[in-house]
């Protein structure tokens, strides 16, 4: 199932992407340099693959997603969609050129106008894109609703009448009507019960197979990521620290942060906690440590880790790691090895 990693055929190519949030230069008052929420990200997404983007809260995953989508303007770097450069545009322009990328919100219930019926909300996206035929819009919405396993009559209902699982499906249907190629899913199973989560995951997998979609799957739940994704990218403080095929990342993680994350994540076959894999909590995004951002919490850190910043290097084909010491690290058997 693993889609071949091929930078040339990538549907989306990201190079050196930097997004600074909250930079202000008011006429009066204090200037603010802002926070580098995304701090030099390189990323490729191959057509048809599911790329898992994993990281803890505040690591910049959502900002990265919003930048790719175009609602947040990047400060540096380039974004190439299907071979066309689509970077450096203001948000309105960016959204128009990046119509092939669509975004499913973490809380699809809150992403719907509470005063509008489901059908009306879903049709709106089509109307904005210039679909002038109400009959055609309605037909497309009904088709999308049944595509995600909902009764087309759901179109007449209101967001507060639906359950969490149904709202996830509505959220997916909402972007399916727009016929995207790359779908960014932001924590699509957060807050769902296990049984509902299972059905949503299966739906996502079926839709990919049926419609040939590509997913950027943002999650902090490693069990889910491992289950669904072909490849994963681990993010820490605005930087990608490791990317690899899912099997490889779980069986032979190279970056110390990836190892800590895997060891900490709760799984059915977890043992009772005996030791804590990493101490402390990530620093505030406003105060990113110099050099390797992870060095203050890294047990393998050496003085030079605080000085020079690592870049993504190819450890083996399709396995990239951003660590100054990856060659020296012990081949640590992690608890997740199967």
Partner 1 sequence: MKLVVLKFLRDLPAVLGLGIVLFGLFVAVFANQLAPHPDAAFQSNLLQRFKPPSAEFWFGTDNLGRDIFSRVVLGTRSAFIIAFTVVGSAMLIGVPLGLFAGYLGGWRTELIMRLTDVVLAVPQLILALALAQLMKPGLDTAMLALTLTYWPFFTRTVYAETRRLKSSLFVEALQGVGASTTRILFLHILPNAASPIIVRATIGMGFTILTAAVLGFLGVGATPPDPDWGLAIAESRKFLPETWWFATFPGLAILVAVLGFNLLGDGLRDLFDPRLRRSR
Partner 2 sequence: MSEPLLKVSNLAVSIRGDEGVARVLDRVDLEIPRGRIVGVVGESGCGKSTLIKAILGVLPPRAEIEAGEILFEGRDLAHASPQVLAREVRGSAIGFIPQDPLLALNPVFRVGTQMLETMRWHAPPQWKGRHRERLVELLGAVQVPDPEKALDRYPHEFSGGQRQRLLIAAALSCQPRLLIADEPTTALDVTTQQQVLKLLRDLVAEFGLSMLFVTHDFGVVAQLCDDVSVIYAGQTVEAAPTRRLIDEAAHPYARMLLACHPDRATELGGIPGSVPSPYVPPTGCRFHPRCPIAVAECTSRRPDLQRPSGDHSIACPRHHLTLPEAAA
For partner 1, which residue of 34, 48, 58, 99 counts as binding (CB under 8 A)?
A: 99
User: Binding partner of residue 272 among partner 2, partner 1, none, CB under 5 to 8 Å per kind?
Assistant: partner 2
Residue 205 phi, psi (nearest 5): -70, -40
DSSP calls for 199-242:
HHHHHHHHHHHHHT-EEEEEES-HHHHHHH-SEEEEEETTEEEE
User: Binding partner of residue 115 among partner 2, partner 1, none, CB under 5 to 8 Å per kind?
Assistant: partner 1
Strand partners, 324: none
- Contact (Cβ atoms closer than 8 angstroms) between residue 300 and residue 247: no
For partner 1, which residue of 73, 95, 208, 309 counts as binding (CB under 8 A)?
A: 95
Binding flags for partner 1, 153-182, as an x/- string (CB under 8 A): -------x-------------x---x----
Strand partners, 313: 321
Query: Nearest distance from residue 240's CB to partner 1, in Å?
Result: 23
Cα 271 to its chain centre, rounded Å, is: 29
Half-sphere exposure of 36 (CA within 13 A, CB side): 17
For partner 2, which residue of 1, 28, 279, 287 counts as binding (CB under 8 A)?
A: 279
For partner 2, which residue of 195, 314, 331, 333 counts as binding (CB under 8 A)?
A: 195
For partner 2, which residue of 8, 269, 314, 331 counts as binding (CB under 8 A)?
A: 269
> Does position 79 bind partner 1 by CB under 8 A?
no
- Contact (Cβ atoms closer than 8 angstroms) between residue 17 and residue 76: yes
In the range 224-283, which residues lie near partner 1 by CB under 8 A? none
Rounded to whole angstroms, how far apart are CA atoms 16 and 288?
Answer: 17
> Does position 95 bind partner 2 by CB under 8 A?
no
In the range 18-57, which residues lie near partner 2 by CB under 8 A? 56-57
Pairing of strands 12-21, 35-45: antiparallel
Rounded to whole angstroms, how far apart are CA atoms 163 and 154?
Answer: 12
User: Binding partner of residue 163 among partner 1, partner 2, none, CB under 5 to 8 Å per kind?
Assistant: partner 2
> Does position 198 bind partner 2 by CB under 8 A?
yes
Residue 146 phi, psi (nearest 5): -75, -30
Instruction: Report which of 17, 73, 28, 8 is spatially closest to residue 235, judged by C-alpha positions.
Output: 17
Query: Nearest distance from residue 113's CB to partner 1, in Å?
Result: 5
Rounded to whole angstroms, how far apart are CA atoms 297 and 242?
Answer: 17
For partner 1, which residue of 29, 30, 31, 115 counts as binding (CB under 8 A)?
A: 115
Binding flags for partner 2, 131-170, as an x/- string (CB under 8 A): --------------------------------x-------
**Quick one: DSSP state of residue 249?**
H
Residues that bind partner 1 (CB under 8 A): 69, 71, 91-92, 95-96, 99, 102-103, 105, 107, 110-116, 124-125, 128-129, 160, 174, 178
């Amino acid at each position: 199932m693993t889609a071949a990693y091929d930078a040339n055929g990538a549907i989306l190519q990201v190079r050196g992407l930097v997004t600074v949030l909250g930079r202000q230069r008011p006429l009066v008052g204090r200037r603010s340099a802002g926070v580098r929420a995304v701090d030099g990200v390189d990323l490729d997404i191959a057509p048809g693959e599911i790329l898992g983007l994993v990281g803890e809260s505040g690591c910049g995953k959502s900002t990265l997603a919003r930048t790719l989508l175009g609602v947040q303007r990047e400060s540096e770097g380039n974004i190439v969609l299907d071979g066309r450069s689509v970077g450096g545009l203001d948000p309105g322009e960016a959204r128009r050129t990046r119509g092939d990328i669509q975004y499913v919100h973490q809380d699809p219930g809150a992403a719907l106008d509470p005063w509008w019926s489901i059908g009306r909300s879903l049709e709106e996206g089509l109307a904005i894109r210039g679909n002038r035929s109400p009959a055609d819009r309605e037909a497309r919405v009904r088709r999308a609703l049944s595509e995600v396993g909902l009764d087309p009559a759901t179109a007449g209902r209101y967001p507060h009448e639906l359950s969490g699982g149904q709202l996830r499906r509505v959220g997916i249907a909402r972007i399916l009507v727009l016929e995207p190629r790359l779908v960014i899913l932001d924590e699509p199973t957060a807050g769902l019960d296990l049984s509902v989560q299972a059905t949503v995951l299966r739906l996502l997998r079926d839709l990919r197979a049926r419609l040939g979609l590509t997913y950027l799957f943002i999650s902090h739940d490693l069990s889910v990521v491992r289950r669904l994704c072909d490849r994963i990218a681990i993010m820490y403080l605005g930087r990608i620290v490791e990317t690899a095929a899912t099997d490889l990342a779980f069986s032979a993680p190279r970056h110390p942060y990836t190892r800590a994350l895997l060891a900490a994540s709760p799984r059915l076959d977890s043992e009772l906690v005996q030791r804590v894999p990493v101490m402390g909590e990530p620093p505030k995004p406003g105060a990113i440590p110099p050099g390797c951002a992870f060095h203050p919490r890294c047990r393998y850190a050496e003085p030079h880790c605080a000085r020079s910043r690592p870049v993504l290097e190819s450890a083996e084909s399709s396995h990239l790691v951003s660590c100054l010491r990856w060659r020296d690290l012990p081949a640590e058997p992690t608890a997740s090895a199967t």
